């Protein structure tokens, strides 16, 4: 990130899509994401987020509509989360520890038409899970499902109060509840943290040791 990015981070509100796009152009082959199976550069991340977002929109995703995600932490999971937001949708990660009935209830509550699920959870829940939803297997079908290389998603200009993501409670006291977080709330968290690293000259490295459906993550 350079001075332009520093200025963006200092703003009271900004665009996550702009930050990803600027980083993709500026950082190129530098590593953006790494998991147990491999790594992804900033340029590749920017391209794939655009392609996934474009396909979501072409596949009927409406502004403010949720995209359900279920699986264990991985690069594909992170890509779908970012792409849902880039497309003007709402990321709705579902907890892997919930029961089949709870997961079905969360998916219905979210209003999502798409569910991205990894093979391990699909094998556990069965092929008949989430009927009526468009199902994409994260670790097998994502590359073929997304739009062709170089495709750009339609412009999206989320407002501060627009929903960014839904976090579901553990359900220990009953039916899991969906908590909606806004773009403004997430920008404050992200920008303040990133700006503090930049101001102190620290390398920006984040270890996600908690699941990607966790509010803390």
| pLDDT value at residue 203 | 76
Q: Which residues contact 74 (CB under 8 A, 6 or more apart)?
A: 35, 36, 37, 118, 138, 139
pLDDT at 65 over 70: yes
Distance CA 94, CA 168 (A): 7
Q: Where are the domains of the chain?
A: 3-199
pLDDT of residue 1: 45
Q: Is the separation of the CB atoms in 100 and 129 below 8 Å?
A: yes
Token pair for 76: 């594909």
CATH for 3-199 is 3.40.50.12780
Output the pLDDT for position 57. 98
Over the chain, what is the mean pLDDT? 92
- The tokens for 82 are 């970012």
Tens-place pLDDT, residues 86-142: 999 999 999 998 999 999 999 999 999 999 999 999 999 999 999 999 999 999 999
Question: What is the full DSSP assignment across 78-123?
Answer: HHHHHHHHHTT-EEEEEPTTS-HHHHHHHHHHHT-SEEEE-HHHHH
Q: What are the counts of helices (DSSP H) followed by strands (DSSP E) for the chain? A: 8, 8
139-171 pLDDT per residue, tens: 999 999 999 999 999 999 999 999 999 999 766
Asked if the model's pLDDT at residue 3 lies above 80, the reply is no
């Amino acid at each position: 990130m350079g001075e332009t990015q520093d200025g963006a981070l200092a703003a009271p509100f900004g665009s996550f899509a702009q930050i990803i796009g600027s980083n993709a152009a500026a950082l190129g082959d530098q590593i953006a994401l790494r998991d147990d199976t491999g790594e992804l550069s900033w340029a590749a991340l920017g391209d794939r987020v655009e392609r996934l977002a474009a396909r979501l929109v072409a596949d009927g995703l409406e502004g403010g509509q949720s995209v359900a995600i279920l699986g264990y932490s991985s690069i594909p999971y992170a890509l779908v989360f970012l792409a849902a937001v880039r497309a003007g949708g709402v990321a709705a990660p579902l907890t892997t520890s919930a029961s089949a009935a709870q997961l079905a209830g969360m998916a219905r509550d979210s209003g999502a038409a798409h569910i991205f699920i990894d093979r391990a959870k699909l094998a556990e829940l069965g092929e008949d899970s989430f009927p009526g939803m468009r199902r994409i297997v994260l670790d097998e079908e994502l590359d073929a499902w997304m739009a062709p290389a170089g495709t750009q998603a339609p412009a999206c200009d989320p407002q501060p109060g627009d929903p960014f993501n839904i976090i579901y409670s553990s359900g220990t006291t009953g039916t899991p509840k969906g908590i909606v977080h806004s773009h403004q709330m997430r920008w404050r968290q992200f920008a303040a943290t990133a700006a503090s690293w930049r101001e102190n000259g620290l390398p920006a490295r984040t270890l996600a040791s908690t699941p990607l459906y966790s509010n803390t993550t």
